[in-house]
Amino acid sequence: MRKILASILVVLTVLGVAAYAEVTSIKQDMMMIEKYAKQIKATAGDASQNQQNAVNANQIALLLQANLQKVPDIIRQWPQDQQPAVWQNYQEHINYGLAIAVNMQTAFQNNDNATAAALIQQLFDAKENSHKIYNH
């Protein structure tokens, strides 16, 4: 029974992410990621906030997942022959942030605030590095 419920939850999550991805822009999603990340950063050392921070980290992961297939407008501004490599690089940046968010969620669930605090800083650093490329 648990496996069936877990499978249903995964399917609903994937469908929800797919539907969400169709109606929001990358900019809107990144603004929401920023909001969640700032909330986490402000409370990462407070163990009483771990449950909410795990939820926020999950929201970041879902938003990043939803953006894996969205093509930022700036990629279309690159020369045509460079676009596939730039697109691949963009997806690598998104996947990197996604991995950080998932690890951060796990850290909060395990009450490992030191690791979670390091991961939120890593996420902000990753944002800064990717924005040097995609927000110029």
The region that residue 55 occupies, defined by phi over 0 for left and psi between -120 and 50 for alpha, beta otherwise, is: alpha
- Whether residue 93 contacts residue 126, with contact meaning beta carbons closer than 8 Å, is answered with yes
- pLDDT confidence bin for 136, thresholds 50/70/90: low
- Whether residue 82 contacts residue 130, with contact meaning beta carbons closer than 8 Å, is answered with no
Q: pTM for the complete prediction?
A: 0.79
Encode pLDDT of 52-87 as tens digits: 999 999 999 999 999 998 988 888 888 999 999 999
Tokens of 64: 């990043």
